[in-house]
Amino acid sequence: MYAGQGVVVIANNGEHAAGLKNFEPFRYAIPNTRASQAEAGVLAEWSPTAGPDAWRLVMRRQFTDVTGPGGINGPPTPDAPLWAIGWDDKSVLLMVRSASDAAAGKDPWQVFRLPKACHSFDGDHGWHTEWPRIREVVPAADGRPARFILTMHGGWYDFPATFSGTSSGGIRPLCSHLKITADAAPWSLDGKAVIVFGCDDTAKSGFKSEFQNPRNDLTARSNSNLWFTTWDDLARLGRPSGSGYVWKRESILAGVPSDPMLLAGEDGYGHCVVHVTHDGDTAATFTISTDRGGEWQPLASVDVSAHGSGFCVLPEQGRGDWARITADRDVPGVTAVFRSGTRGGSFEDQELFAGLADARSSAPWIGAVMRSGEGEALPLDVLARAMDAAGRATEPTAWQVQAGQPPLERAHDDPVAAFLRDKAIPTSPDVSFDAASVILREGNKVFRLPKPLDPVAAATYEKPFATGWPRGVREVVTERALLNAAGTFYVLPRVSSGGAAKILSVCSHGKKITDFCSWRGLLVLAGVTQGSAVGGDTPAHAASRIIGRLAAGGPAAAPAVWVGDVDELWRLPRPTGRGGPWQATPVEAEVASDPYLMGGYDEKTLDVSHDGQASVRFDVEIDPTGDGEWFRYASLDVPPGHPLTHAFPRGFLAQWIRITAATQCRATATLTYR
């Protein structure tokens, strides 16, 4: 709730009623009927001078924050702009209220759209947002204006204090992030100006379903922490990326522009592609324009045949702050989506993770399962097993690890030791494998993911380690999970926020990570080398991240684990992989393959072959966002006995790919991502 320009504005981010059954204060002031799934939450305003029409519905969508350039101190002037942020099924929403438009009798609210960096916040109940907002985090000083940060859907943005309906330039994506932050503020730490974030980390309660078990039951006590960083360090996390629609199965009038979508200039996202499809009976041309010098200028266009689809990789030169699309004729059933940026970190620091055992290495190492413990002391409970160079494992030993204290071994019959043995050890993998790819199932849905580029590492992950199967799925920040599959970490949204269809790659680590959890605001990874567990020749930079060490000559199964920040996962190698939907697979004519992940990878090539005696046409389709709407990409004619290699255009981006053969055959389709 916020007041300014003579009105009070309220934002609500979910659809479930709060409070007592008979106490619903806004039910009659703002009608809460729903015409569609997208109608959830509300942005509304109240005017003390409007009489019986005091309450006005602005938008029936989910909003989390209303503020302005004065922040929590209130508007600096009576006509200062008001900002509201939220989302719908298409994109992040940024709304700005202009006092001049209100005075002129116009609709005072303007709509701007930003890509969603992550869809794990999408649930219409609003529980998965904790708690996005716009805050001043760097105070004005030495003639330099204050800096604001906008947080929404897994992205942090540099938000200009001057943003208004008539001055809409300057928003820039800082990064993609993994942690969930409820608030941020400027602070001073040891005399240094920093930003402090309040985080939502380890939760005891969760939402296990038949499709996904994030293992909140392994947490004995909920706990979180503060996170201190600097403005410059925010840009050293995940590369900015995201997707957002401007139209979604909508009837469009000729020449009427879409809402503006953030491009963020030539230095914002790097690659950006626009996908368009429609249900019209005639071809249409869609023009993408960008704002430069205060005017909208054409940037690119997409010609789409009747009932067809097309795409355009936008040129990096000439991009303004925003883009919008117009059609050259009235067109029904139009979908237009922007996909910007690729996943992975802004830089690598593999030495930081040198204490973790490599998948290809046969050197002695220590595997473990863990949980955030109970009681005021909040220990880390660890069940560890040591592996020698021959792959032989010791019996598991339970430990209690405390910061700054020697590890304490627990007796075999200790209740915590018994819990870890009985409840915490994975008995089966969370994914499966075939010759073609990694397989992720969600009920009766099948999704395929890449294997490592290195075939030796790939083979390592397709069977249990000497300690057993590694942990696949676990919640480490509230309301979404990480998936560790074949040496790559992914963000896995809850099913009510899109589930596996909205999965996003983070890094390809290539390590023997047996378990992962959060504890005291830290990410904890199990699977360290024996040398790092006893203070061996691990570089000092990496050794500082290993806790639970024992002195040389002590028990082999030390409770040594790696600790750090969840967003340091971006410092591991960027996502890569190889695989596909088919590997010498019998395929039926005109039956589409399973979807195979494409989103988040840089260089992409497709190799297709078959055993037919004549050429076979393969139709390639892409799903830009994971919403299950398939766009035709290309048809490839593959001659007999000669595999065809197709390189996707530089900057081409989509979430999923699938392939259909026109003729029954045995086919192989392999995608390589570098």
Quickly state the pLDDT bin for 489 (edges 50, 70, 90). very high
Instruction: Please report which helix (H) or strand (E) contains residue 382, including its range.
Output: strand 380-387
DSSP string, 172-225: EEEEE--S-EEEEEEEEETTEEEEEEEE--B-S-----SS----GGG-SS-B--
Task: Verify that 629 and 655 share a domain, yes or no.
Answer: yes
Q: Could you read off the pLDDT of 10-36 as tens digits, one per residue?
A: 999 987 654 445 555 455 567 767 888
**Percentage above 70 pLDDT, the chain:** 97
Q: Could you read off the pLDDT of 514-551 as tens digits, one per residue?
A: 999 999 999 999 999 999 888 766 777 788 899 998 87
Task: Verify that 505 and 647 share a domain, yes or no.
Answer: no
The predicted model gives 400-416 an average pLDDT of 92
CA-CA distance, 260 to 245, in Å (whole number)?
A: 10
Task: Verify that 490 and 620 share a domain, yes or no.
Answer: no
Task: Verify that 280 and 376 share a domain, yes or no.
Answer: no
Task: Verify that 494 and 563 share a domain, yes or no.
Answer: yes
Task: Verify that 414 and 479 share a domain, yes or no.
Answer: yes
**Residue 64 included in any domain:** yes
Average pLDDT, the chain: 94
Q: Could you read off the pLDDT of 327-380 as tens digits, one per residue?
A: 999 999 999 999 999 999 999 999 999 999 999 999 999 999 999 999 989 999
pLDDT(618) > 50: yes
> How much is the pLDDT for 537?
65
Task: Verify that 320 and 403 share a domain, yes or no.
Answer: no
* Contact indicator for 222, 176 with CB cutoff of 8 Å: no
> How much is the pLDDT for 19?
47
HSE, CB side, 13 Å, CA atoms: give it for residue 585: 23
**Residue 621 included in any domain:** yes
The predicted model gives 205-229 an average pLDDT of 89
* Contact indicator for 302, 288 with CB cutoff of 8 Å: yes
* Domain containing residue 69: 1-114
Outline where 313-379 has alpha helix (H). Answer: none
Q: What residues does 451 pair with on adjacent strands?
A: 578
pLDDT(427) > 90: yes
Q: What residues does 516 pair with on adjacent strands?
A: 525
CA-CA distance, 449 to 488, in Å (whole number)?
A: 10
Task: Verify that 370 and 474 share a domain, yes or no.
Answer: yes
The predicted model gives 619-644 an average pLDDT of 97
For residue 137, what are the contacts with CB-CB under 8 A and spacing of at least 6?
A: 147, 148, 149, 184, 185, 186, 195, 231
> How much is the pLDDT for 230?
97
- Which of the listed residues 571, 596, 623 is the one where a domain comes to its end? 571
- Which of the listed residues 571, 600, 630 is the one where a domain comes to its end? 571
Task: Verify that 396 and 495 share a domain, yes or no.
Answer: yes
- Which of the listed residues 50, 84, 114 is the one where a domain comes to its end? 114
**Number of folded domains that form the chain:** 4
Task: Verify that 531 and 652 share a domain, yes or no.
Answer: no
- Is 493 exposed, middle or buried, given 0-12, 13-18 or 19+ CB atoms closer than 10 A? buried
Task: Verify that 356 and 496 share a domain, yes or no.
Answer: yes
> How much is the pLDDT for 20?
46
DSSP string, 534-555: TT-S--HHHHTTEES---TTS-
> How much is the pLDDT for 536?
66
The predicted model gives 27-50 an average pLDDT of 83
The C-alpha torsion from 281 through 285 and 291 to 292, rounded to 10°, is -170
